[in-house]
Structures are given as C-alpha cells and as structure tokens.
Amino acid sequence: MLDKMRKQETEKRKKVSDAWEHFTKIMVNEEQKAKCMHCSAILKARYQLGTSTLNRHVAFCFKKHQPKIDESLQGSLKVIKREDGTYGIDQNVLRILIARMVIMHELSLRFVEYIGFREMMAHANPVVKPMSRNILKSEILKLYQIEKVKTLHLWEKNHGRVAITTDLWKLVIRKRDIWL
C-alpha cells in the first residue's frame, strides 16, 4: 500500500532537473529508462538514482555533436552565381558575420576601417563594398534586437526561478564594471 502511494506521488511530481529537457522516459523490460533526444542513447532513469548520470551524458553529448566552427560558418556565407557566369558574395550576410566577429572578439568598431582589414577584404573579393563604423554599429544593434527578442521568449517560457549572479571587477585603468 505504501509503495503504491509513493509510486503515485513520484508519477505526479514535476520533472525538476533540466536534464529532462533532453530525454524522454521509456520502459524497457519493465524498467524505467531515459532515451536521449540527440543521440538515442538509453540510460537508467530510476527515481532513486537522481539525474547526475543524465546531466553528465547531456554535457558529453553536446560536446560530441557540436558542429565545428568551420562547418557552421561555411553555411552562413553563400557564394552566389550570377546569370553572366560570375560569382559573388551576399553583402548582407557578410556584414552580419563581420558584426558577429566584432562582438565575439570584443574588437573596436574602428576595426572595419583598419587598412589591413580593408586590404584583406579587397583581396578576398574586389567587389565587396567597404564597411564604415556607422554601418557596423547599425548591424550590431540589429543583432542586439534579435537576441533581445530571443531572450524575452526564453524568459516567457521559463516558469521557474532565476538566479542572477553579479561580480564587480576592478580594471587596471581604475574603472569599475559590473558583470551579470
């Protein structure tokens, strides 16, 4: 009787761990298992075991199935074949990729005006129009707005608690920054 009540209690409980977002519960030989949605691996998923095994698998599975940087960027910048038989690059995609690069590597907006960068871009494709700081700034703001909308959608989907951790950094140049 007591076992039956515990079983009903556990079935009604919400799956609290984030690991369950990557697994589906299945029954194999009357034993509860978890099947990975990414690689179809089957792991033990009894209530008594907890979710540490599932979390470790998710971390390993993500590392294993992450696309290489070259593969992910290659799909972004497509070469366009024109009617006259010549090839070109989509200028808009190139501007977005440059903006992402400046953000990722924390480069100055002046980076696009450096002589070395302009020479490299002219050598790669002579028809590419040079980018100014203002154009780069507008591209970064567009990317910011897109990411802001994505983040707001994530916040709307989240029904749990969120912990925000802050850290105060004191830089060599005597500036204080707060990081979230």
* Selected residue with higher pLDDT from 110 and 39: 110
In a domain, 180, yes or no: no
Per-residue HEC secondary structure of the chain comes to: CHHHHHHHHHHHCCCCCHHHHHEEEEEECCEEEEEECCCCCEEECCHHHCCHHHHHHHHHHHHHHCCCHHHHHHCCCCEEECCCCCEEECHHHHHHHHHHHHHHCCCCHHHHHCHHHHHHHHHHCCCCCCCCHHHHHHHHHHHHHHHHHHHHHHHHHCCCCCCCCCEEEECCCCCEEEEC
Pair 121, 163 in one domain = yes
One domain, residues 89 and 46: no
Identify the domain containing residue 29 by its residue range: 2-65
Number of domains in the chain: 2
Residue 22 sits in the same domain as residue 89 = no
For residue 69, pLDDT beyond 50: no
pLDDT-derived band at 10 (thresholds 50, 70, 90) equals low
Same domain, 111 and 24: no
Q: What is the pTM of this model?
A: 0.47
User: What mean pLDDT, rounded, does the chain reach?
Assistant: 77
Q: Are residues 163 and 89 in the same domain?
A: yes
Residues 16 and 76 in one domain: no
122 and 44, same domain (yes or no): no
Least confident of 9-18, 49-58, 102-111: 9-18
76 and 45 in a common domain: no
Same domain, 109 and 46: no
Q: Do 52 and 129 belong to one domain?
A: no
What is the arithmetic mean of pLDDT over 95-117?
93
